[in-house]
Amino acid sequence: MSKRPAGFAVAIACVALGLAFGAAAADPGWFPFVPAADSQPAEFDLRSLNERFAGEHGPIGAREGHFIRNGDGQPVRFWAVNGTGQNDAPEKNPGRLARTARFLAGRGVNLVRLHGAVFDREGRPDAQRVARIRTEIAALKAEGIYSLCSIYFPLWLEPKPDNPWLPGYDGHKHPFAALFVNREFQAQYRRWWEALLLTPGPDGHRLVDDPAVMGLEVQNEDSLFFWTFSDRNLPEPLLALFEERFGAWAVAQHGSIAAALDRWGTKPGPHPRDVPAAGRLGLRPLWNLANERTLRDQDTVAFLRELQSSFYRETIAWLRSLGFRGVITASNWTTADNRVLGPLEKLTYTEGDFLDRHGYFSCASKGENSEWSIRVGHTYRDRSALRFDAEEAGKPRSYVHPAMEITYDGKPSMLSESTWNRPNRYRSEAPLYFAVYGALQDTDAIAHFALDGGEWSVQPGFFMQPWTLAAPSQLGQFPAAALIFRRGLVRPGAVLASLNLGREDLRRLQGTPLPQDAAFDELRAKDVPVGVEIKTGQTLDPLLHFAGRAEVRFVDGKSSHRLEDLRPYVDRTAQTVQSTTGEVRLNYGAGTMTLNAPAAQGASGNLQAAGRIKLRDLEMESALDLAHMVVVSLDGAPLAESHRMLLQVMTEERPTGWSTEPAEKGQQRIKSLGKNPWEVRETAGRVRFLGAQAGSCVFTPLDLNGHPSGPAVAGPELRLNPRTLYYLVTRP
């Protein structure tokens, strides 16, 4: 996220989880989430899904739109987290880091994005930070967990006035866009990668040779098409450098600057920063480029796209020259206008092996530093993604969500930062939502933000941060969610939208009918195509992402699009979307998603409104308006034949002592942040197996660590224990 404070700590310890909190008494209807100290594999332990060690079958590659293990050609999906959650240097407590890695592997994680600088405040390579990353990679590797290295984010640098390779800064601004054009800065940036990849460790091995390093990220969240690319963010020397490059580009295209200005004509006319005699041409603001689209604007965008593409192409080639054999991605950011500029940004990313992006489901948090903290007095809104709730109460539904995937040029896709921001009672929707719709759209990797710690801590203090992953609603639901996603227990949907975007049309700023992450609300639904005909200027129905898949190809000819008839799957009158596979159904009017695949069945959201839910092999119901109940096969067989299954249940969470009061515009105002431990609302409902073998089922309740706890229940039906979140279901 662009507004995180530099160096924000992320930490978690995965044993001794409950010792610091004690057995706190919860309010009626809630129970404390306090797992006991533990080091034994759970009944749902997923370590066996990983290789013996990461890289056992060679480096990760990309083939036919998916990640593969190069050694044996097997495809692999990544269920990932950001960070290892170590507050202190991991070498000071290697046992803790090893336990964290084992804990993550047991809950289905096979990739960690290591997102942090390898340079000090002055921008010099930092040997201690490099050593720390090496230590983390080694611990993760031992548990079959790969690493993705992200080492540069403009917010991590505030160049001082005397910086020799970033002139013009004042010690307060961040070097947005500088990496694209400043050769001295690029040379310094390459020194960081050399320090990380080429420095031998104590064993003499280099990370550039380690197949456990799944991939590299060129840079995090920066773009020439985002609002940070503006004259107020760029110091004079950098702005002049861009203008010189634009002037040289115009000469190469049109023969001279005078010829370029003559071609552009009087609309919009000369730019106040044009200095033709010095070979410089000014750059119009992004809003003007995306909305006015004059001939000058079209050339400006073509220049920016070529400059950004060439930087990624040259940098990736240089990383290859060091000997790196894993996959490399360019960046992961959004644009000032995703309908017009978005596809151009994605086009620059195709220089890499896979396309990455970020997206958060926010809760309209307002207050001082609410971008990165939760404090008393802040306001927020409880907001359901299953209902497509708008951020502001009373507004039309907003049909945009980070789980909506589009694949580009047949390359693998990754969502490397995402979560439901807290506080939001609907946050527990996240894991199953990502797993089910990620699998339906054939996404290749999903990384949850962020492994941030305090031993399942709510992060008590004068503030909390909004991305806590060490929470019952998040990591607590990983076992079933990871199985669904990694094993493909939900089949990929059919391709419903196939777009060929002509490069020349994009250059003329004609945009795309399927913008990614662009706001689309209920008021615009009347403008979407009905049937298969797409008229100029129309936007495709974003609900297609909940029925099937969308693909984009960049082509040299004119744009052309194919849209399947969505009417068999999308019913806006009934407010439902059915997947093309028949395995997933979303009732966004009620806020309920049902899963009905052979090896994974359940329901998520407002189960009270859903009533009795009958699936292939199960029947379930609950009186709760927010609950998630899912049964997944642990032995790989369909539920009708499986001998070993996991029933996972979740409701909602909150810190102990958390309190709010009604605020304006349907929001809540925080009165107390509360304290450790987490509390979980008690579960309620029943699950009944159907079919000839239903009577032989045995339900064994498991504790919060996944170990048997309490007497087993025999028979086809189980009434949920209010304080049990996991059950092992067996059949002879």
Over range 698-709, report the average pLDDT: 97
Mean pLDDT of the chain: 93
Whether residue 659 has pLDDT greater than 50: yes
Instruction: Enumerate the H helices of 146-272 as residue ranges.
Output: 178-181, 183-198, 236-254, 257-264
Tokens encoding 67: 């990640």
Residue 454: per-residue pLDDT: 56
Band the pLDDT of 2: cuts 50, 70, 90: very low
Mean pLDDT of 145-164: 97
Structure tokens at 298: 């079209």
Please tell me the distance from the alpha carbon of residue 568 to that of residue 547, in angstroms, as a whole number.
10
CATH of 59-226+310-486, picked from 3.40.50.10860, 3.20.20.80, 3.40.50.720, 1.10.1040.10, is 3.20.20.80
pLDDT at 550: 97
β-sheet with 379-380: strand ranges across: 379-380, 668-672, 659-662
Q: Name the helix (H) or strand (E) containing 309.
A: helix 295-321
pTM of the shown model: 0.95
What are 412-435's pLDDT values in tens digits? 999 999 999 999 999 999 999 999
- For 16-58, write each residue's pLDDT tens digit: 333 344 445 678 999 999 999 888 899 999 999 999 999 999 9
pLDDT at 455: 77
The average pLDDT across 329-349 equals 97
Helix (H, G, I), strand (E, B) or coil at 125: strand
What is the per-residue pLDDT for 25?
67
Torsion of CA 624, 671, 32, 100, to 10 degrees: 110
The model's pLDDT over 266-306, given as tens digits with 9 standing for 90+, comes to: 999 999 999 999 999 999 999 999 999 999 999 999 999 99
**CA 236 – CA 228 distance, rounded (Å):** 15
Question: Environment class of residue 634 by beta-carbon count within 10 Å: exposed (0-12), middle (13-18) or buried (19+)?
Answer: buried
Q: How far is CA 370 from each of CA 4, 127, 402, 709, rounded to the nearest angstrom?
A: 10, 34, 20, 41
| Contact residues for 317 (Cβ-Cβ < 8 A; gap 6+) | none
What percent of the chain clears pLDDT 70, i.e. is strictly above it? Answer: 95
Return the domain boundaries, the chain.
Answer: 59-226+310-486, 236-302, 495-571
> In this model, does residue 383 exceed pLDDT 50?
yes
* Choice between 241 and 20, residue whose per-residue pLDDT is larger: 241
Percent of the chain with pLDDT over 90: 88
Q: Which of 10-24, 629-643, 688-702 is least confident? A: 10-24
Range 514-528 average pLDDT: 80
DSSP string, 87-115: SS-GGG-HHHHHHHHHHHHHTT--EEEEE
3-state secondary structure of 155: helix
What pLDDT, on a 0 to 100 scale, did the predictor assign at position 94?
76
Tens digit of each residue's pLDDT (9 = 90 or more) over 94-128: 788 999 999 999 999 999 999 999 999 999 999 99
